[in-house]
Chain A
Amino acid sequence: MRDVETRPKKGEWIIVFTILFASLPLILGFALLVISSFSKDMVTNLSLSSFRPTIENWINVFQGKLAITGGIRQNILKITLNTLVVALGVSGIVTLISTLAGYSLSRMKFRGRKLMMLLLLMLHAFPGVALIVGVYLLYRLTFPQEPSFVRLYSFFYVILARAALEIPMSVWLMKGFFDTIPWELEWSGIIDGASRIKVWRQIMLPLIKPGILAVALFGFLAGWQDLIYVRTFLIDQTLATFIEANIEAEYSHMPLIAAAGTLYLLPTIIFFLTAQQLLLQSYSGGIKG
């Protein structure tokens, strides 16, 4: 319903064709990566002779065989699991904190509320690189003495630190979702003598489910794709650091890295297909890039 009724059909094809032509590198690049993951050699030079179909790469990925010769092994399932732990952790923390803070910023009057919201916007614009030196010092100062806790601690820390980066935006997003709920719904609850916390939990949370889902998805993707924080803080490897390290390594078999990359891309694609409307809508809330 935009200007459908009066729009000439003829011009439409020209626009679609122009945009698709401009998107060609994008389509080509991603398509070649996925195709290479099913080939014996990398298919990057557009010649069909280099495409020799096989699913060996995928089998090797799951078995963790990094090179065809030499028997270098790495447990990719464990690396994927590490990535998943970080992503789910970030998602959980971001969702919890923004559902709490978003409610009070949307519904409660208190001194400093306006200032708090402006500060959150400022924090979102704040250069992450200016923080990371300080975040690392805090990490080192709070490092556990007990060596057996160190790995666990690095997971704990990277999840919290990465989640913190997402909080300003998701609190704003969540506040926006709460703003759309008619307040009569909770008002009746408050009149009946329910506390704010009870109203939040029993009336608001069920109504705000799409918002929670959106924030949780964004949190998951942020944690899933992060490179800099996991590289700096996490002792174990994730898919991001695995790819980072193996591009230059001489023993690595590149189609296998392509398969690992495709595996890494999968959740993004799945979210794309299942939640596209949600993604497009909530992205207009304000993002960084």
Chain B
Amino acid sequence: MKGEKLRNLSFFLSPMIIMVGLFYLIPLVFTVYISFTKMRNWNIERYLTEIVGFYNYQRLFHMFQHDPLMRTVLLTTIIFVGITLIINVFGGLLLALGTFFINESSASAIRLLWLLPRMSPIAVYSLVWYYFFHGSNIGTLNSILMKLGVLSQPVPWGQIVPWGAWGIIIFVNGLVGVSFGMIVFTSALNQIPKELVIAARVDGASAWQISRKILVPMMKWHLLYVLTWQFLSLLTTYPHLFLLVQWDLVSRDYGTTLALYVYNTAFGRGEQDQGLAAAAAVLLSIIGIIGGLVTLKVLQFEKMIHEPRGDIE
């Protein structure tokens, strides 16, 4: 019996374990290792065995202290994560509440529309905003404002530092993140007993009062969940930013967060410095691991894991 169970378990679980080992554990060890080497330009033959100790970390901290470019990256990261997080959580909440109070068919159409940024390929999505915010008069935003008479000249939005560039990266990523909050909050709202809402309605409460006094207080757990989860995601997300910066839509300096900095330092144009990138990646992972642990503890995810049913040993 014991042998059979082991055989079954390995049949079901080994593919997953192999994948996790190959593409999470080994790369993690490799990244930590590279952060202790002099690796650059992916010259593996030459640098793979050249250990330099904590040199890359010292360099990184020196840059944090003295390099104005690195300080810009850090500032951009903080502003980007902070403001986008607020937009994601509150935008998602507003959309979920808004669609809660309208008829089902309009609601699902709106939900689908707001899923579009998340579902459409990053390259297409970025292409859309490339034209929308384009700095010349072919840009949609420029042409609208010029037609309305607000502007007389096209404005290169992404090159206005810092807030023009920050505005665009926050806007573009904010739209992607909003749908996450929207869906989590919508499913939370659907679990709230309808009697509560109907009773309040009968007593003459408005949609605003129902939201504030009944619905939002009942979604505390979900608010916390979206907040922490989106924080971790935003800290490490970079594909959308990558194209906006690559296409020069936004200023390179004020459009680069720490995650994008890691990618560009390791794989970008010009001289690549994987040792430094790996050191920065290790820092990001430490933040990610701490953040993940805090999330698990605060939200008591362990309670989500029920004992399995249907095992008859």
CB neighbours (8 Å) of B110 from chain A are 16, 19-20, 23
Interface residues of A in 130-155 (CB under 8 A from B): 130-138, 140-141
CB neighbours (8 Å) of B288 from chain A are 125-127, 130
CB neighbours (8 Å) of B197 from chain A are 2-3
Contact A5/B198 with A100-B15, A138-B27, A243-B124 known, Cβ cut-off 8 Å: yes
Q: How big is the A interface, by class? A: 35 or more
Contact A227 B15 (CB under 8 A): no
Contact B22 A164 (CB under 8 A): yes
CB neighbours (8 Å) of A48 from chain B are none
Contact A19 B95 (CB under 8 A): yes
Contact B281 A129 (CB under 8 A): yes
A85 within 8 A of B: no
A59 to chain B, nearest CB (A): 20
- Docked pose: A20 CA to B197 CA in angstroms: 25
B155 within 8 A of A: no
B contact residues, total (Cβ < 8 Å): 126
Contact A268/B235 with A32-B131, A133-B31, A167-B16 known, Cβ cut-off 8 Å: no
Residues 1-45 of A, flagged 1 when their CB comes within 8 A of B and 0 if not, give 111111100011001101110010111111011000000001011
Partner of B124, one of A33, A200, A288: A33
Contact A276 B112 (CB under 8 A): yes
CB neighbours (8 Å) of A1 from chain B are 194
When C-beta atoms are compared, the residue in chain B nearest to A225 turns out to be: B121
When C-beta atoms are compared, the residue in chain B nearest to A123 turns out to be: B24
A107 to chain B, nearest CB (A): 5
B39 to chain A, nearest CB (A): 8
When C-beta atoms are compared, the residue in chain B nearest to A196 turns out to be: B8
Partner of B301, one of A2, A113, A118, A123: A118
B177 within 8 A of A: yes
CB neighbours (8 Å) of B277 from chain A are 133
B309 to chain A, nearest CB (A): 5
Partner of B242, one of A126, A164, A227: A227
- Docked pose: A183 CA to B312 CA in angstroms: 11
Contact A264 B31 (CB under 8 A): no
Partner of A109, one of B13, B238, B311: B311
Contact A132 B263 (CB under 8 A): yes
B168 to chain A, nearest CB (A): 12
A195 within 8 A of B: yes
Contact B121 A224 (CB under 8 A): yes
Contact A272 B201 (CB under 8 A): no
B184 within 8 A of A: yes
- Docked pose: A228 CA to B237 CA in angstroms: 11
A257 within 8 A of B: yes
Contact A135/B177 with A28-B140, A44-B134, A261-B127 known, Cβ cut-off 8 Å: no
With a 10 A CB-CB cut-off, give which of A117, A247, A248, A258 has the most chain B CB atoms.
Answer: A247
CB neighbours (8 Å) of A225 from chain B are 119-123
Contact A164 B247 (CB under 8 A): no
B150 within 8 A of A: no
* Interface CB pairs A-B, < 8 A, 21: A2-B197, A3-B210, A16-B106, A16-B110, A32-B131, A33-B127, A114-B302, A126-B285, A127-B281, A130-B284, A137-B44, A196-B12, A227-B123, A227-B243, A228-B239, A239-B123, A264-B123, A268-B120, A268-B121, A272-B112, A280-B111
* 4 closest cross-chain pairs (CB), A and B: A134-B27, A183-B310, A164-B23, A134-B30
Known pairs A3-B194, A32-B128, A125-B229. 15 more at Cβ < 8 A?
A: A3-B210, A30-B128, A33-B131, A44-B131, A104-B12, A110-B5, A126-B288, A127-B281, A132-B263, A137-B44, A167-B16, A221-B119, A227-B121, A272-B115, A289-B230
